[in-house]
Chains A and B, each alone.
Chain A
């Protein structure tokens, strides 16, 4: 009986001891209050970690480099490039056809929303950690860090607002339902501009594309580039109802820049000038921007740092475009997917006497050779030839089912790349100075009155590649943006601004679905709408 008494006593004690017994202290991770204790931890876990997701290595993540994310929605929906269906390959439930035919609801855009808004969320949490740190360490100056995260958040909001129109403007990591209501596009637009202009003075002047302390970070030139884009697209972004056929005029949308009140075109030109003042210039050759070792480019402004040994960001664009045998001949993979449209070939003057000099650095076309200079052979022993003008959206019944279409050549092939070629060393270019020159030119043309400078800007870009000069007109600027910036993820933004989103092209007639303009944005995922009960974007 004594034993029983001991057991009962032990049991009673155990009851009391249980709450300690049932507390588990993690060993393979840190609790939140341990992760931001020093300025260095705050920087590493609170801020630097945010940049980890500018690039990506899974579907739908990263601003560029993976699949079915921001870049694809901005590229394969346009007159520049598409992903043709090749029999059973690349049908993928119609997602690529949906993208090109502007069936936006079928375009698999949810991943892009989740990715971009998650970054906004993470930036909000980061700002809270910075504020908490500042409260505990009043002598440390966290203002530059705060400005940087605010500008980074503005960048993610910029991409999200460009794709989806309306956004919730929540500023906390645990937002109330009220904060989650979708705001009109113009409100979101103003908030993004305000965050960038408010941060500008505190941001470093360093070049973000150079390895070093500010490698891959948002510095002043990056923020200026974003501001130039935001100004140039003012007519689109300030328009709260994009299905009514009317847009405000950029000349009437006013801003205060450096103490002066200017309209959007003037503001764009000012920001472009300021970027120039930071010392950016065109590379001697356009290809230098996309070389394996492009991290000291004088032209690139903002890149996703890539390093096959040290970093995990991937670049799938080359891999998925080239033919299987083409990839194999390089010791890498190919997936035989995306191609240039015939419209793009026309703009490049393909098959004419005046082919743009950039054609062959932008596209693979014709017979392909391996590293020894021998023709690449297909399984049946015939040489691999790409037929650019045989491309169409559905190639299933075409004799050129596997070989139609010009393929992406716009990055130097990194022969030492890992993971089938996806883990390469070329930094992915998101912003570069040639774009600034073309934005500047366009802003001048839209403002009217300085044709000489506009012409000089356009032809600086053309002269660099040895292309003959052209008259500075808006149409020529739009074409030049395709010639210079093909495969760089800006085409959708350009077409909408030029009101050419729904225009008929050789590859695609004018689409009925584009008639009311609702397809210039993508639908907002249902899970987000459920929380607030807000209405979907019009037309979906």
Chain B
């Protein structure tokens, strides 16, 4: 029996191998099933690759920020090069993990990191699936939504083409904090009777760590086709600098797709291979350390090294370091991805279709760092590698039959998946030279026991799915899916979860009685769906087993020995977290498709919510326990409108807009586990202030609170400033500093708008995004307005006038987070080609893009575009760790032969 599952895997692999060896032969082709059928009509859940404009992104998903209702793309605010932080479809539905959507590239399952291996130019379309009945076919992995990415391919019979896309860009810093300069700093320190350490320079540290960054991208694609097949090969190279000195990324990607058709129309073979190697180098190992230091370090210090060839330290400021010294830190991340897939489609007559699919993906991330002795006592080098392999095989049988106006379909799927997570790391310390770093970790005299480790986990998953569809006269359709997912991560008796879903749609426009209005209204459809999805994201393989790991060293006799111990509470009763979603929607199309609109309303409830409980010792031996007992609700309304008021030969105007209203509520977390009652305090902190004077105590800002949305601000109310009797002011708190909920960190409303205007050969497009209804805690201002920070930490230029001598956390610095941001604007010129040129060159385009040109906001900090969707220690909190606001200008050339 147990050979069967490997058989499935082996079969899929064999298929992959066979298909690859045959891929040279050309064959005719039609589009694959993943591509949306009607690409001319505006589909609010689909973004075509042609619309990706000239935005210079390293992860293609960033290019569609704001383009799809209900989707939030969170850029990192701590790095200029590794820009992507998190993507959410219809909000956060789990507290442990699995909130990022499933990414499927040409049918190969991956994650956001995998998407890095595709150059945006290679993308034909994105299709975003949010509704449970749509994502049902992907099971638990698609519980948080699915983004299907289709890469470009060569069509059958296409003539051979070569395209080149090149970009050159400049990124500059748009805005820095205005701190006191050296004179102002010295005067304030002396005026306050404090000891001044004046090294006579006048340094703006923020400027010193910054630079104007350059970027250049190149992309070449070859494609073509013959009677029975097609191919496309693309190679791309991206080279991006960050605006922080020494920050640099380069990414090489290659994509190959081929297909051929064999034995008449019986067999179609699709093969794809994509891979990339991305290298990032940065001095930023801790973004707060970097930006806090650059903002607050004593401005009288010079930027030059001292006589000992090091950097002068400033003992008053224990939380920050000489910014020039920090630039000497080296952090490198090298990620390589390889994905291969093959799909065999057998068209067995007019009713039957059989598909066998196999894919293998490999990802390795090598992380290295070196902290020189100037910033880290004795220096520290680290080198580690984390590998993830995923092998998936599935077989699908499709049956369709048409009886008059009735269409019936049935589908059965069996799938197995095996993943391998493995890795190791080594840390060495006590360096006598800073010149070798992580390239020669043996230059460190000491290898620490607790800095060396390796691991391996091999979780498996199996799924079966049955699906029935019924359609009558293009008017009524019904679909029902039953999917069973099993995972090795749960204990016996809890491995399998069963997740049904149903959906129905009514294409009203096709009703005979609608004929009268068909001239004005050319599309009207109602949709409704309900479904369950399981989630196991964020669970480690062995959490359900009592297992012992190497725990530490004990002296045994005169030797040292490693003893094994259980290092966490196990929970053999863990089970699938279940999300139930109900969705109702309608699609309209008016005036011959000039106005297209979609409206969707959804509500979802997550039950058996996985949550890391703080538990008592005893009865448990550790303070954390992962258990599923809680409930959380999400709901929202999404409206998308596409308008094409003008579409003539010379003129074209297109306006697409989407608005999303979303709410979230954590309903409950308490319950019984094994007879013990577990309870979570009503308010549990998520993010809190860090830095001088903020350690420990209650400096928390954002909380998870029962009965409230995830990420609320729970702060004392400040009634104003009060004189402290010594000429300074402190924050006056109401009710003795009692806390209350005073806003949420996640936006209530999201807006995305895209305009594109075309006149003859010129075009212009711009993207405007906005978010409303949320707040931001300006912890940066709280810290830098506190005159008591002197002399150790510089203050804002505006601080002396206010004379605040307090940094108590309160709602005083809680500000509205509303903003409207001009994400990018692109001006393009499709160079008209005549005569000989037109014969050789099929397309020539020049374009200029400006990113992040303007932000309209009432927020007083650097930027309102901080983390407002990812539940972690930065949610809604601006705390001396925000990457400078940058603007990028890019000139691009596209040429096709």
Residues on A facing B (Cβ under 8 Å): 1, 3-4, 7-8, 10-11, 13-24, 26-32, 35, 44-45, 48-49, 51-53, 57, 68, 87-89, 91-95, 106, 108, 113-114, 117-118, 120-122, 125, 168, 170, 173-177, 180, 211-213, 215-216, 305, 307, 309-312, 323-325, 328, 332-333, 335-336, 378-380, 396, 399, 402, 418-421, 525-531
* B792 CB–A CB distance under 8 Å: yes
Task: Evaluate contact between B560 and A418: CB separation under 8 angstroms.
Answer: no
Within the complex, the shortest CB–CB distance from A536 to chain B, in Å, comes to 13
- Restricting to B309-345, which residues have a CB under 8 Å from any CB of A? 312-316, 318
25 pairs from A and B in contact (CB 8 Å cutoff): A7-B395, A11-B414, A14-B8, A21-B462, A22-B460, A24-B459, A24-B542, A30-B548, A32-B547, A32-B548, A32-B566, A48-B563, A51-B555, A52-B563, A93-B695, A125-B621, A215-B558, A307-B555, A324-B318, A333-B377, A336-B318, A379-B312, A379-B314, A399-B195, A418-B448
Task: Evaluate contact between A21 and B676: CB separation under 8 angstroms.
Answer: no
Given contacts A20-B1, A311-B553, A380-B195, contact A26 B542 (CB under 8 A): yes
- Please list the 4 inter-chain residue pairs (A to B) with the smallest Cβ-Cβ separation, ordered nearest first: A93-B697, A88-B693, A49-B563, A528-B616
* B378 CB–A CB distance under 8 Å: yes
Contact string, B794-822, partner A, CB cutoff 8 A, digits 1/0?
Answer: 00000000000001000000000000000
Task: Evaluate contact between A213 and B557: CB separation under 8 angstroms.
Answer: yes
Task: Evaluate contact between B456 and A117: CB separation under 8 angstroms.
Answer: no
Task: Evaluate contact between B5 and A21: CB separation under 8 angstroms.
Answer: yes
Q: Which one, B67-75, B346-354, B507-515, is touching chain A?
A: B346-354
Closest partner residue, chain B, to A529 (CB atom): B616
Complex Cα–Cα for A54 and B693 (A): 30
Task: Evaluate contact between B788 and A87: CB separation under 8 angstroms.
Answer: yes
Given contacts A3-B354, A10-B4, A121-B618, contact A378 B552 (CB under 8 A): no
On chain B, the residues within 8 Å of A170 by CB distance are 618-619
Q: Which one, B86-94, B227-235, B677-685, is touching chain A?
A: B677-685
Given contacts A88-B788, A117-B618, contact A14 B696 (CB under 8 A): no
Closest partner residue, chain B, to A43 (CB atom): B556
Closest partner residue, chain B, to A384 (CB atom): B315
On chain A, the residues within 8 Å of B549 by CB distance are 28-30
Task: Evaluate contact between B554 and A180: CB separation under 8 angstroms.
Answer: no
Task: Evaluate contact between B346 and A216: CB separation under 8 angstroms.
Answer: no
Task: Evaluate contact between A48 and B412: CB separation under 8 angstroms.
Answer: no
Select which of A28, A49, A94, A95 is within 8 A of B455 by beta carbon. A28
On chain B, the residues within 8 Å of A49 by CB distance are 551-552, 554, 563-565
Complex Cα–Cα for A1 and B495 (A): 33
Given contacts A11-B412, A121-B618, contact A212 B546 (CB under 8 A): no
- Restricting to B446-482, which residues have a CB under 8 Å from any CB of A? 446, 448-450, 454-462, 464
Task: Evaluate contact between B697 and A92: CB separation under 8 angstroms.
Answer: yes
* B617 CB–A CB distance under 8 Å: yes
- Restricting to B863-884, which residues have a CB under 8 Å from any CB of A? none
Select which of B456, B555, B619, B621 is within 8 A of A27 by beta carbon. B456
Task: Evaluate contact between A14 and B416: CB separation under 8 angstroms.
Answer: yes
* B429 CB–A CB distance under 8 Å: yes
* B694 CB–A CB distance under 8 Å: yes
On chain B, the residues within 8 Å of A399 by CB distance are 193, 195
Closest partner residue, chain B, to A416 (CB atom): B430
Closest partner residue, chain A, to B698 (CB atom): A93
Complex Cα–Cα for A108 and B348 (A): 71
On chain B, the residues within 8 Å of A336 by CB distance are 315, 318
* B780 CB–A CB distance under 8 Å: no
Known: A28-B549, A312-B553. 5 other contacts (CB 8 A): A93-B696, A212-B557, A312-B449, A324-B315, A379-B312
Select which of A1, A18, A52 is within 8 A of B553 by beta carbon. A52
Complex Cα–Cα for A174 and B565 (A): 16
On chain B, the residues within 8 Å of A32 by CB distance are 546-548, 566
Task: Evaluate contact between A27 and B618: CB separation under 8 angstroms.
Answer: no
Task: Evaluate contact between A177 and B792: CB separation under 8 angstroms.
Answer: no
How many residues on B have C-beta within 8 angstroms of the other chain's C-beta atoms? 100
- Restricting to B776-794, which residues have a CB under 8 Å from any CB of A? 786, 788-789, 792-793
Complex Cα–Cα for A125 and B363 (A): 40
* B759 CB–A CB distance under 8 Å: no
Task: Evaluate contact between A52 and B460: CB separation under 8 angstroms.
Answer: no
Complex Cα–Cα for A17 and B6 (A): 10
Closest partner residue, chain A, to B789 (CB atom): A88
Closest partner residue, chain A, to B547 (CB atom): A29
* B604 CB–A CB distance under 8 Å: no
Given contacts A4-B352, A108-B696, A528-B618, contact A18 B462 (CB under 8 A): yes
Task: Evaluate contact between A378 and B1: CB separation under 8 angstroms.
Answer: no
On chain B, the residues within 8 Å of A177 by CB distance are 619, 675-676
Closest partner residue, chain B, to A524 (CB atom): B616
Task: Evaluate contact between B789 and A45: CB separation under 8 angstroms.
Answer: no
- Restricting to B349-363, which residues have a CB under 8 Å from any CB of A? 352, 354
Closest partner residue, chain B, to A323 (CB atom): B315
On chain A, the residues within 8 Å of B430 by CB distance are 418
Task: Evaluate contact between A527 and B623: CB separation under 8 angstroms.
Answer: yes
Select which of A305, A378, A379, A528 is within 8 A of B555 by beta carbon. A305
Given contacts A3-B354, A32-B546, contact A113 B617 (CB under 8 A): yes
Given contacts A22-B487, A93-B695, A379-B316, contact A15 B566 (CB under 8 A): no
* B614 CB–A CB distance under 8 Å: yes
Task: Evaluate contact between B692 and A89: CB separation under 8 angstroms.
Answer: yes
Closest partner residue, chain A, to B560 (CB atom): A310
On chain A, the residues within 8 Å of B614 by CB distance are 527
On chain B, the residues within 8 Å of A323 by CB distance are 315
Within the complex, the shortest CB–CB distance from A373 to chain B, in Å, comes to 19
- Restricting to B142-198, which residues have a CB under 8 Å from any CB of A? 193, 195-197
Task: Evaluate contact between B553 and A17: CB separation under 8 angstroms.
Answer: no
Complex Cα–Cα for A93 and B541 (A): 38
Contact string, B504-530, partner A, CB cutoff 8 A, digits 1/0?
Answer: 000000000000000000000000000
Interface centre among B313, B487, B697 (most CB of A within 10 A): B697
* B7 CB–A CB distance under 8 Å: yes
Task: Evaluate contact between A44 and B348: CB separation under 8 angstroms.
Answer: no
On chain A, the residues within 8 Å of B464 by CB distance are 11, 15
Complex Cα–Cα for A305 and B449 (A): 16
Closest partner residue, chain A, to B549 (CB atom): A29
* B426 CB–A CB distance under 8 Å: no
Closest partner residue, chain A, to B449 (CB atom): A312
On chain B, the residues within 8 Å of A45 by CB distance are 548, 563-565
Task: Evaluate contact between B696 and A95: CB separation under 8 angstroms.
Answer: yes
Task: Evaluate contact between B621 and A121: CB separation under 8 angstroms.
Answer: yes
Complex Cα–Cα for A24 and B547 (A): 12
Select which of B348, B551, B558 is within 8 A of A52 by beta carbon. B551
Task: Evaluate contact between A93 and B5: CB separation under 8 angstroms.
Answer: no
On chain B, the residues within 8 Å of A333 by CB distance are 377
* B401 CB–A CB distance under 8 Å: no
On chain B, the residues within 8 Å of A88 by CB distance are 692-693, 786, 788-789, 792-793, 807
Closest partner residue, chain A, to B455 (CB atom): A28
Select which of A14, A24, A305 is within 8 A of B462 by beta carbon. A14
Given contacts A45-B564, A418-B430, A530-B677, contact A91 B693 (CB under 8 A): yes
Task: Evaluate contact between A378 and B618: CB separation under 8 angstroms.
Answer: no
On chain A, the residues within 8 Å of B546 by CB distance are 31-32
On chain B, the residues within 8 Å of A180 by CB distance are 618-619
Contact string, B434-446, partner A, CB cutoff 8 A, digits 1/0?
Answer: 0000000000001
Complex Cα–Cα for A371 and B698 (A): 41
Complex Cα–Cα for A89 and B320 (A): 12
Task: Evaluate contact between A117 and B692: CB separation under 8 angstroms.
Answer: no
Given contacts A49-B565, A108-B696, A305-B555, contact A396 B788 (CB under 8 A): yes
Task: Evaluate contact between B318 and A17: CB separation under 8 angstroms.
Answer: no
On chain B, the residues within 8 Å of A19 by CB distance are 495
Closest partner residue, chain B, to A403 (CB atom): B195
Closest partner residue, chain B, to A57 (CB atom): B450
Complex Cα–Cα for A113 and B622 (A): 11
Closest partner residue, chain B, to A335 (CB atom): B318
Complex Cα–Cα for A120 and B619 (A): 11
Task: Evaluate contact between B197 and A530: CB separation under 8 angstroms.
Answer: no
